[in-house]
Amino acid sequence: MTEACAPTVNTGLRGVTVASTKISDVIGDQGKLIYRGFLVSDLAKNTCFEEIVHLLLFEKLPTAEELTALKQKLTAERAVPDALIEALKTRPADALPMDILQAAVPMLANHDSDVTDTSQEAALRMAIRLVAKLPTVLAAWERIRKGLAPVSPDPELDHSANFLYMLFGKPADSETVRFFDTGLVLHAEHSFNASTFAAREVASTRAHMYAAVSAAIGSLSGELHGGANVRVMRMLLDIGSPDKAEAYVNRVLDEGKKIMGLGHAVYKTDDPRAHILAPMSKRAGELAGDTRWYEISKILEEKGKKAFKERKGTDIYVNVDFYSASLYYSMGIPVDLYSPLFAISRVAGWTAHVIEEQFAGAAPKPMLYRPESKYIGEYCGPEECRFVPMDQR
Ligand SMILES: CC(=O)SCCNC(=O)CCNC(=O)[C@H](O)C(C)(C)COP(=O)(O)OP(=O)(O)OC[C@H]1O[C@@H](n2cnc3c(N)ncnc32)[C@H](O)[C@@H]1OP(=O)(O)O
Ligand SMILES: O=C([O-])CC(=O)C(=O)O
């Protein structure tokens, strides 16, 4: 192949449009995020997570009756099979919670007869089950690994209040529930991020909902994606006090390392979700009687942006994982659960994308993802290609 015909390699697929979607838009230069036409900043102020699930899966904000019906469905689907709880009890206590969550997904599939039903109705039922059950799995795992009995879902509680109840074994106060719920609203959807792309890629083969969601959880776990919130909190703990933040920034950047929670593949300004999470982090710190983690974050943001600009000549901004870390910490949630928390929210977006991938009527119709690669290995001549038995190599 001549140099002129050689394919261009688009690492990271940046700027490559691979599908149409009606689910969300990330307007990177304006710092806007839109779920099905609505600004996420409006949704965060005015809706609960169940309304977002309705918006993403049923393509509209629910009426009061529709919201009640969805809440009832979620309540009915929250319990997980006993066999799954027993399987969790066999896992080592130091297993990574994202691995536990990912492994639970095919186990849930084993108990769902809809996996062989290829209709859109079955896909929706599986989506609702996953939204309902993943928090139960996560809360159960947190208790099992501490040697405690899992807490059964409380049918009287809404999604977020119920999760916090199952996690802590007692009801959370209303402000904490509201902050947690807003966190779920903010993490629910983000167009073609890596994990959603993973879900859609698997769905494009016509694999079932659980297969796609399991792949998405694996993708989300990485530190460049949803795994970043755990790293942000470890970084804050490592820094320990606000007076050490600036030195930390300089050291990390001088060593050519990354400050977790800064930077984004699409946003060229602040991530709008970070603006909503930051005051919640501050307030949650006040409620917990310790605003240190918020204060360190503020200094890291300011000094990190400045030091990055000085070194690279370009701007960098905070992303969603930056202030969610200190928010969850002040709520008393164990650090390694932060990425799974991201997953129990993003499952709403993933499942909506799987349905769009498999059933969207809009043109262009999605098709099996099958990109090209540019082969840079060797081409053998006829002699060299002759197979050589093992003992003659
Ligand atoms: C939910 C989410 O997934 S949001 C993202 C969560 N991830 C993180 O917070 C991890 C830290 N951030 C990053 O790794 C990156 O900013 C990414 C992967 C999110 C996006 O970055 P990209 O647009 O792909 O840019 P890329 O990683 O190529 O970085 C471009 C330059 O900025 C630097 N850079 C990017 N992010 C950071 C950061 N957080 N700290 C320091 N330097 C950074 C890179 O080292 C690179 O420098 P170089 O050109 O000298 O090699
Ligand atoms: O869009 C991305 O690349 C990452 C992100 O912020 C998200 O998934 O919420």
**Residue ranges covered by each domain of the chain:** 19-224+335-359, 228-329
Please state whether beta strands 24-27 and 38-39 pair in parallel, antiparallel, or not at all (unpaired).
unpaired
Q: Looking at the predicted structure, is the pLDDT value of residue 89 above 80?
A: yes
Of all ligands present, the nearest one to the C-alpha of 197 is: 2
How far away, in angstroms, is 78 Cα from ligand 1 center?
37
Which residues lie closer than 8 Å to 27 by C-beta, 6 or more apart? 33, 34
**324 CB within 6 A, ligand 2:** no
Confidence of residue 7 (pLDDT cuts 50, 70, 90): confident
Which of 23, 34, 190, 200 has the most ligand 2 atoms within 8 A of CB, as the residue to mutate? 190
Closest CA to 341 of 319, 325, 365: 325
Residue 262 β-bridge partners: 318
What is the per-residue pLDDT for 287?
96
CATH architecture observed for domain 19-224+335-359 = Orthogonal Bundle (1.10)
What is the per-residue pLDDT for 382?
65
Residue nearest to atom 2 of ligand 1 (CA): 225
First-to-final CA distance of the chain: 30
Q: Is 165 helix (H, G, I), strand (E, B) or coil?
A: helix
Q: Give the number of C-alpha atoms closer than 13 A to the C-alpha of residue 309, restricted to the C-beta side.
A: 9
Q: Looking at the predicted structure, is the pLDDT value of residue 212 above 90?
A: yes
Residue nearest to atom 19 of ligand 1 (CA): 264
pLDDT: which is higher, 282 or 10: 282
**CA–centroid distance for 326 within its chain:** 17
**Positions marked catalytic:** 264, 321
Tell me 59's DSSP state.
S
Confidence of residue 387 (pLDDT cuts 50, 70, 90): confident
| Whole-structure pTM value | 0.96
* Whether 98 contacts 227, CB under 8 Å: yes
Residues of the chain with pLDDT > 70, as a percent, come to 97
Closest CA to 295 of 245, 227, 345, 231: 245
What is the per-residue pLDDT for 384?
64
**97 CB within 6 A, ligand 1:** no
**107 CB within 6 A, ligand 2:** no
What is the residue-wise DSSP string for 83-127? HHHHHHHTS-TTS-HHHHHHHHHHHHHHT-GGGG--SHHHHHHHH
Of all ligands present, the nearest one to the C-alpha of 250 is: 1
> Does ipTM top 0.90?
yes
Q: What region, left, alpha or beta, does residue 313 occupy, with left being phi > 0 and alpha being psi -120 to 50 degrees?
A: left
What is the per-residue pLDDT for 81?
98
How far away, in angstroms, is 26 Cα from ligand 2 center?
9
What average pLDDT does this structure show over 362-389? 81
What average pLDDT does this structure show over 68-88? 98
Domain 228-329 fold is Cytochrome p450-Terp; domain 2 (1.10.230)
Average pLDDT in the chain: 95
CA geometry: angle at 280 spanning 275 and 285, to 5°? Answer: 130
What is the per-residue pLDDT for 388?
81
Domains 19-224+335-359 and 228-329 share a fold: no
Between 97-110 and 209-220, two packed helices, what is the crossing angle to 10 degrees?
Answer: 180
What is the per-residue pLDDT for 365?
83
Q: In what order do the strands lie in the sheet with 38-39?
A: 24-27, 32-35, 38-39
Confidence of residue 263 (pLDDT cuts 50, 70, 90): very high
How far away, in angstroms, is 249 Cα from ligand 2 center?
23
Closest CA to 186 of 313, 124, 272: 272
Residue nearest to atom 7 of ligand 1 (CA): 224
